[in-house]
Structure formats: C-alpha cells, structure tokens
A and B are shown apart, each in its own frame.
Chain A
Amino acid sequence: MSGPARDNPRSISPIFWLLFGAGGMVSALFGPALILITGLLAPTGTGIPESFLSYDHALAFARNPIGKLVLLAVIALFFWHGAERLFLTLKDMKAGPSLVLKLGTYGVAAAVTLATIGLLLAIGF
C-alpha cells in the first residue's frame, strides 16, 4: 500500500478499466439504436431507405476514414467492455486460473481489435 514506489508497483488495470468505461459509454449511447436500426428497422424496411443495407452503401461507409473510426470504436470498445465484465465475473466465480480467464476475455477483445484494424485497412480507402 504505502511506502516507496518499488514496494507498491503501479497496476496496469487503468488501461483495461478505461477501455471498459469507454465501451460502457458507447454501448449505452449507441447499442440500443444500432440494434433497432440494423436488427429490426432495416431488415423489415421500416422507415429506412432501401439502399441502407446494400453492399455498396456499407462498403462506402467502411472505406470512409471516419466510417472506419466509427466501426473500430463500436466493435472494439463493445468487446473491451464485455471482456472486463466477463473477466471480473469469472474471477469472482473462481472459474479458472487468472491467466486463462484473461486470455479468454481480454485476449479475445485484443484479437478482435487487431482483426478489425487489419480488415478496415485491407478493405481500402
């Protein structure tokens, strides 16, 4: 607790906690709207332009730099938020060794983030 810094190494938890917090904010603000629009309104054609779900439309969005940032934020931060929640829950339930749990939660979020970045770059501008 107290004492010189060498007895009290700084935790790296803030990195994951801030990603968790950012993900919570993004998912609370945009999650329900996204589910409503892409899951219900667009497939049933309710109040949404027909071209909304077209391949060209989606591709143009994913090629736009701001579109890329939006996709990365929504996909990656949702995963980091879920990873932290799941990790703490599994840890509290003593579901397995800490390293396994971290790989299964933070590891998945990191892999998804890297894959998203890679795909967004590969899809071109």
Chain B
Amino acid sequence: MPDPAKRELRILRYQPGVDAAPAFGTFWVENAENLSVLEALQSIKDTLDGSLAFRWSCRMAVCGSCGMMINGAPKLACSTLLRDLPPGPVTVEPLNNFPIERDLVISVGGFVKKIESIYPYIIPKEPRTIAQGPYLQTPAQLAAYESFSDCINCMLCYAACPQFGENPDFIGPGAMALLQRYNGDSRDAGRQKRLDAIHGEDGVWSCTAVGICSEVCPKSVDPANAVNQNKTNSAFDFFLRFLRKE
C-alpha cells in the first residue's frame, strides 16, 4: 500500500555518451497541497539525487524554461500541480521532438536559429532620431500584435506539433507567433523580409492546420492563428510579387 503522503514520479533519465539509452528512474517525494511538478523535481535533486538535470528559473510561468512532458502532455512543470494530476505515478519526460542534452534538458539550438531567422526585432520604416521622440501607438495598434508578444519561448507547441516531429526544419508555431508579433506592429517595416523567410516548404507551408500548438500554449498565444494569417499573407505574396515594385 503506497504512502498517501508521498507521490511517485517516474522520470526519464539519460546522459548521452554514458547511458546506452534513456530509461526511467522512480522517485518518491513528500506530497503537499500546493506542490508543483517543478518543486517535486527540486526536492528530488536536493534530497534524493543531485545528478538529476532539468531547466528552471522563474517558478511562475514567465520564463519558459521548465517545459517538459508530464504524463505525456507538454506542460510547464512550475504551473502543473501534482494534485491536479490523476492519482498514481506521474511520468516526467523531456519535451518531445527535441534532442536530449541530459535527463529533462533538451537542446534548444535549432529553435533559437529559427527565432533568429525571422528577424525578431522591429525594423523601422526609416531611421529615427532621439529628437523625434518616442513612437506612439493607439490601443488598436497595440491590440493588433499584443497577444503574440506574450510568447515565452517555452517550446511546448513544438513538442506538440506533429509536423515539427516529422520535419525538424519546419519553422514551427512559436517562431510564427513571434513573426506575427513583429509583422503586426505599426512601428515595423520588415514584413516582406519575414515573408521571404517563410515562403518555402519548411516555412509556413509545412503546417497542416492540426491546431494543437494553440491548445497546449500556456500563455494563450494562439500560434495556429499566426500560422494561418501568414499562410494567407504568403499565398497573396505568391501572386502579388509579380505586381510588386522592388
């Protein structure tokens, strides 16, 4: 009979170059009313196995570091409470679709390259001097991109996306949300550069409109909407490029 004051975690452990293959390790942690999966991992690291590797920082669903597969679904460990999970062992694995660096830590290099590829900064229409003062935006201009600026780069959408799982070169939902954040900004003039970056097979066109990216997003960013808007933009650009003056 398991101790009701304790909770079982089955954690996928893997150290490339040392372990032949990833394998689950079982740990029992002291349960508490408000214990998150992240706190459970921290307690394991502090008291049971100091070699357990996982990323975390803010503990409040802002930094996007602690994304992992919890009972098979991509979640932030800090905002997932043990009491909300079904009774029985909790399975914790590194995010799907990414190479494992160690234990629950995945390699983010490919994702960072994608973020870089879509010009993730405001490209002003023309150089602006300090004397010209700050940019002004109306509430409507802010609303046009604000929800897309809530992305915390946690990569849960990439772990959920079957197309990214098939094709690691697919630009993916998170980068598309960030792209729309800048394309939708009234201060920005980099739309064409960004459209050119995503018009290929590995760009926006790898998406098959599954939509699970938006379901798993912990910040309600709705990347599927960003992808769909840019399918429309890219499709019009496909034909309108012949009319465009370069």
Contact = CB atoms under 8 A, between A and B. Distances in A.
B231 interface: yes
Contacts of B116: 2
A9 B171 CA distance: 14
A18 interface: yes
Given A14-B235, A14-B238, A92-B208, A2 B199 contact: no
A115 B162 CA distance: 36
Interface string B205-230: 10011100000000000000000000
Contacts of B104: none
B46 interface: no
A18 B117 CA distance: 26
A9 B239 CA distance: 15
B188 interface: no
Contact of A2 (B162, B197, B235, B239): B197
Contact of B205 (A2, A13, A18): A13
A13 B197 contact: no
Nearest to B194: A2
Nearest to B202: A1
Contacts, number: 51
B238 A15 contact: yes
A8 B208 contact: no
Nearest to B114: A1
Given A1-B171, A91-B208, A10 B239 contact: no
A92 B171 CA distance: 18
A108 interface: no
Nearest to B163: A92
A44 interface: no
Contacts of B169: 1
Contacts of B118: 1-2
Interface string A6-49: 00111101110110010000000000000000000000000000
A1 B196 contact: no
Interface in A64-119: 88, 91-92
Contacts of A123: none
Contacts of A17: 205, 231, 235
A1 B234 contact: no
A59 B8 CA distance: 74
A113 to B, nearest CB: 19
B199 A10 contact: yes
B203 interface: yes
B201 interface: yes
Given A2-B117, A2-B118, 7 more contacts: A1-B113, A1-B198, A1-B200, A1-B203, A10-B200, A17-B205, A92-B210
A-B pairs, top 5 by smallest CB distance, nearest first, are: A14-B235, A2-B117, A14-B238, A13-B205, A1-B117
